[in-house]
Chains A and B, each alone.
Chain A
Amino acid sequence: MQPSDEELYRLMKKGNQDAFARLYERREPALYRFALHMSGSPTVAEEVSHEVFVQLMGPSTRFDETKGSLESFLYGIARNLVRVVRRLGPVAEPVDRAVHHDILGDLIGNETTAMLHRTLRDMPERYRDVVILCDLEERSYEEVAKLIGRPVGTVRSRLHRARALLAARLKRLNAPQEVGAR
């Protein structure tokens, strides 16, 4: 049986590096993708997912098991870090990754999908969160509700609203093509 995140955390706090490595392997990829979708920048995503674990192993970590899961705590740190980075403005990408506009869009390849991603990135955070977690990370409403600390009904209604906004944007994106095709 796999040890829970919280068990690994307790071991990690006692200096067990193996527990820390397991926790990192288990949670880092999703945190990286979450930060990537939230920020649109691989550089920011890399720094954020790294910093989340730096903070976790630091002596001043204030994780309290009675207040929620460790995963939720990690997402909370990642969300706050992305928020700070976004507030600071655009991040310079390394030369080997530098492109003119949307680096993630280029990585995604498809132009419409890339545009959709830009729309997602510019959405209010409460909508962006649920689209990323529910539709891109394929988490259940219950899991997302725990991660963001909101009721299931709120998660569902936010996702439906967010999807309506994205669908409308997608419709507008496709409209000129359709006119042109005719």
Chain B
Amino acid sequence: MIFEKMPAEEPTCREWTAELVECARRAGRERQPGRELRMHLAACERCSERWDAELLLTSHLSAMRNRTAAFRAREGRGAVLMRDFARMHKVRMIRGWGMALGAAAALVLAVVVGHMAGEAQRKPVHHARQQPSFYESGGDVLSTDASALSSDDFVAVPYTPPLAQGEMVRVVHAELYPEALASMGVEVDPAYTDRLPADVVVGEDGLPRAVRITENSSSF
């Protein structure tokens, strides 16, 4: 029922509007209104008014476009940008080289430190080997139990660094010369010159922490 009350030309005008606007936008150029549109414009006052308004708008927009087409930023702005670009990339290049050199230096430093740390770790072992008869005796690992240190038989080796929290120890069975035992704080009859069987508590760094003479040599 509602359709009967609507003006008959309403849908037609709406359909023509898009075509009308597109033709007006390109007025005098690649698009001209077709015969049907021209007939509709001749018949419909509202569309004809819109057509005139669109043409007028197109002419003003065209004037605006032509007037501003040559507008550009001042000449110097581009030169400033190019200078900034060159400076920025120079800084970036220098920074890049700096970072590369820094990384190389850090790498070298890490290698040197690693090497020194390795040396430091190896040194105590080497030192222990130099101690007479400690490793020369071909010691066997008897235990890795840290509680061995609390055993009453063990004598703490003086002047050795304390064990770190959670540091593992080994109890090594060895045959030591009396001088070696003396250097670890165990008194041995100086008249005795043979090697004596002993258990040595060794830290992770290879240094002896405690020593005890085993039972079969207790008479000394």
> What residues of chain A have their CB less than 8 Å away from a CB belonging to chain B?
15, 17, 20-21, 24-25, 28-29, 32-33, 36-37, 42, 45-46, 49-50, 53-54, 57, 59, 104, 107-110, 112-113, 116-117, 131, 134-138, 156, 159-160, 163, 166-168, 170-171, 174
State whether A46 touches B73 (Cβ < 8 A): yes
> What residues of chain B have their CB less than 8 Å away from a CB belonging to chain A?
17-18, 21, 25, 50, 53-54, 56-58, 60-61, 63-65, 67-69, 71-74, 77-78, 80-82, 84-86, 88-89, 92-93
Q: Do A166 and B65 form a contact, CB below 8 Å, given A15-B93, A32-B72?
A: no
For residue A46, which residue of chain B has the nearest CB?
A: B73
State whether B21 touches A160 (Cβ < 8 A): yes
- C-alpha gap A54/B77 in the complex (Å): 11
**B56 / chain A contacts, CB cutoff of 8 Å:** 167, 170, 174
| A33 CB to nearest chain B CB (Å) | 6
Among B58, B74, B86, the residue within 8 A (CB) of A46 is: B74
- C-alpha gap A178/B78 in the complex (Å): 47
State whether B50 touches A20 (Cβ < 8 A): no
- C-alpha gap A3/B98 in the complex (Å): 33
Q: Do A50 and B60 form a contact, CB below 8 Å, given A15-B89, A17-B86?
A: no
State whether A24 touches B60 (Cβ < 8 A): no
State whether A170 touches B65 (Cβ < 8 A): no
| B138 CB to nearest chain A CB (Å) | 65
State whether B89 touches A24 (Cβ < 8 A): no
For residue A134, which residue of chain B has the nearest CB?
A: B25
Q: Do A57 and B68 form a contact, CB below 8 Å, given A20-B82, A50-B81, A170-B60?
A: no
For residue B90, which residue of chain A has the nearest CB?
A: A15
Q: Do A136 and B71 form a contact, CB below 8 Å, given A160-B21, A163-B54?
A: no
- Per CB-CB distance, the 7 closest pairs between chain A and chain B, nearest first, are A167-B53, A15-B89, A46-B73, A167-B57, A135-B61, A108-B67, A113-B60
State whether B64 touches A108 (Cβ < 8 A): yes
For residue B80, which residue of chain A has the nearest CB?
A: A50
- C-alpha gap A143/B80 in the complex (Å): 31
**B92 / chain A contacts, CB cutoff of 8 Å:** 15, 59
State whether B78 touches A36 (Cβ < 8 A): no
17 A–B pairs (Cβ distance < 8 Å), ordered by A: A15-B89, A17-B89, A20-B82, A24-B82, A28-B78, A37-B68, A46-B74, A46-B77, A54-B84, A135-B58, A135-B61, A160-B17, A167-B53, A168-B53, A170-B56, A170-B60, A171-B53
State whether B64 touches A117 (Cβ < 8 A): yes
